Chain A
Amino acid sequence: MTTELATHRPEGDRAGPAPVLEVRDLSVGVGRPGRERSVVSGVSLTIPQGGRLALVGESGSGKSMTALAVAGLLPGSFRILSGKVSLSGRAIDPGGREMSTVRGREIAMIFQDPMSALNPVMTIGWQLVEAIRAHGALDHGAARRRAVELLEEVRIADAANRLDAYPHEFSGGMRQRVMIAMALAHRPRLIIADEPTTALDVTTQLQILRLLDDLCRQEGSALMLITHDLGVVQGTCDDVLVLYGGRMMEAGPVAEVLARPRHPYTRSLLATIPPLDADVEWLTPIPGEPSAFTSVSGCPFATRCSLAEDRCHNQTPPMRIAGAPVQAACHMLESGAGQIGGQE
């Protein structure tokens, strides 16, 4: 169960069932046609059936845009510029009309802010029934019974009596449970969770994450978890893809990447997490701040990287093997970047 970023792997090599999601060279831009600036550039990823991939990066790294592009939910002026997306081996057009038959049925999404993700003037039950009846032919009564089952699955007590409640009568954690219930309505093959716990308080975060984890395993759904929290990644995901400035920085199995990060950016990201087994006076912030758009040439992290030299600013480093099975996009892998490893 590994996520392969085998961009160069020949088609014939593939064994077993097609991956749930395969993205090749995805670029997303914003602005008027012909004058777009890209926010995601050349992102490729693969999630096998039941696999769990974490997309990690700071705000503006392009992780949410990648996910929204796959689901065909890019906001107004954003568009996919190039790239291929396949679901279970079938190519799809995320911007196309037929996506409404895919969304909610094959791909479900859970968003960051459960406070605003539910329609404030409709009851919880109405919104669940809508999700259920969007696909399949259940009548209203049957859909309501199914809605109660779903609420019970996400462990909302007294579910039958909660159907007629409005979102404002629920806490943040409860609303996120409702969102998860909606996502599970059609047992989708892939659930995309975009920072599902960021807006919740710490105790609730863990509960929601565990619930999501349990239910995905139970239903056999693959999970794409978008987060800026590497601590969350550790317990939940198999693979991790680190993004920066809309480009891929490093990808590989979670255990491998967290233990021996190859890319200077991944290392600085790890340095921002307080270690549990040692006292530290100060955490190391990453100097500078990310740009909103991808650079035309050069490594997007170069301006904040302590190892950067001239070519880092001029040539975009490609993703390459950085001690299998990890891949990284860095010019400095040979000149020591790859060997520094771990947290000192």
Chain B
Amino acid sequence: MTGKGPVLPAFARSAGRRLFDLAVVMLSVATVVFVLLRVVPGDPVLILGGLDVLDREVIARARESMGLDRPVAEQYAVWLGNMLRGDLGLSLRSGIPVTELVGRALPPTLQLGAMALLIGVAISVPLGVAAARRAGSPADMGITTFAILGISTPPFVIALGLIYLFAVHLRLLPVAGYVAFADDPLGNLRTMAMPALTLGLVTAGVLVRIMRRSVIDELGEDYVRSARAKGVSETRVVYRHAARNAAIPYVTILGIEAGVLLSGAIITETIFAIPGLGRLMIDNINQRDYPVVQGAVLVVALIYVLINAGVDGLYRILDPRVRAGEGQ
């Protein structure tokens, strides 16, 4: 392979490889979702019309209009061809283009994910570092207990607890609902606060533990001793040396957690009545609305792939050894 073809700069080559990876992943996801939905029992026509629609004529016509009468291979080819043109089909139920449904559901989910991630990072970095600096102390045990609670409490329990505290008891926030940011920024933040905090606390639990462990490991490294030998202040040793290096394993877990958040969003969006991707998927799986589910899953997969690309990008920024290894 080496020596042949035009010599591309390392960055262009790695970007090209990433695009190819992305195409492979998306095609695999599309195929798996397509097959799975057709293997799962349940007929969309019967579910749509209700089980009392027994007129064979009606059913056949409905099948035909949805393209469900054609061979599965043909359905797959048509769907794939349309997808490449950016057409994800129409909802079987409402006839609304899937791209439109997904496009409407995407912003709340992205906002929820971003806010939850931000809360998770804002909690986990200072707490993780503080626990690592005082490893074994009562403060460390308190923080570790908080982290374990965050990890082991199911999100819906946290959500209900928050609803009780902020909506029922303190009457500060609405119980559920959603307002678009463009319509009412303050109202939007008020409705998103509790769902974001729910997911943020769960994420923070995992991230605190990773940050704590990584900083403890880094504090035992020789370069930390060198920094201390230079007379650098302890705060600087911890943040500019140990935490800076601990960021590398932390970002790996952050990427995984960002993916986990998407599945956590399904429950959270349901509890707080947020019209996001999670709810779109759940509702339409129940209705066997194939095109909508396929479209939504595809977009979720795309988000996963983009998160991974983002993590790779962060590695490049955080670790010069990764940048050096790129040409190989």
Contacts and interface: CB of A to CB of B under 8 A. Distances in A.
A272 B53 CA distance: 97
Interface string A92-136: 000000001111110011010100111111110000001100110
Interface string A35-79: 000000000000000000000000000000000000101011000
B57 interface: no
Main secondary structure on B side of the interface with A: helix
Contacts of A119: 223, 226-227, 241, 244-245
A117 B231 contact: no
A293 interface: no
Interface in B194-244: 220-223, 225-234, 240-241, 244
B232 A71 contact: no
B216 to A, nearest CB: 10
B318 interface: yes
B85 interface: no
Interface residues of A, number: 32
A34 B229 CA distance: 28
A179 interface: yes
B225 A134 contact: no
A17 to B, nearest CB: 24
Residue of B225, B229, B240, B324 ringed by the most chain A CB atoms within 10 A: B229
Interface residues of B, number: 24
Contact of A117 (B223, B233, B248, B321): B223
A313 interface: no
Given A166-B320, A168-B321, A118 B226 contact: yes
B69 interface: no
Residue of B220, B222, B240, B324 ringed by the most chain A CB atoms within 10 A: B222
A134 B234 CA distance: 11
Contacts of A75: 220
A135 B231 contact: yes
B319 interface: yes
A120 B223 contact: yes
B320 A104 contact: no
A293 to B, nearest CB: 21
A130 B230 contact: yes
Interface string B160-198: 000000000000000000000000000000000000000
B318 to A, nearest CB: 7
A169 interface: yes
A130 B227 contact: yes
A194 to B, nearest CB: 10
Contacts of B220: 75-76
Contacts of B232: 100, 104, 130-131, 134
Interface of A: 71, 73, 75-76, 100-105, 108-109, 111, 113, 116-123, 130-131, 134-135, 166, 168-169, 179, 182, 185
Given A121-B318, A123-B320, A131-B231, 16 more contacts: A73-B229, A100-B231, A103-B228, A108-B229, A116-B222, A118-B223, A118-B226, A119-B227, A119-B241, A119-B244, A120-B319, A121-B244, A121-B319, A122-B244, A130-B230, A168-B324
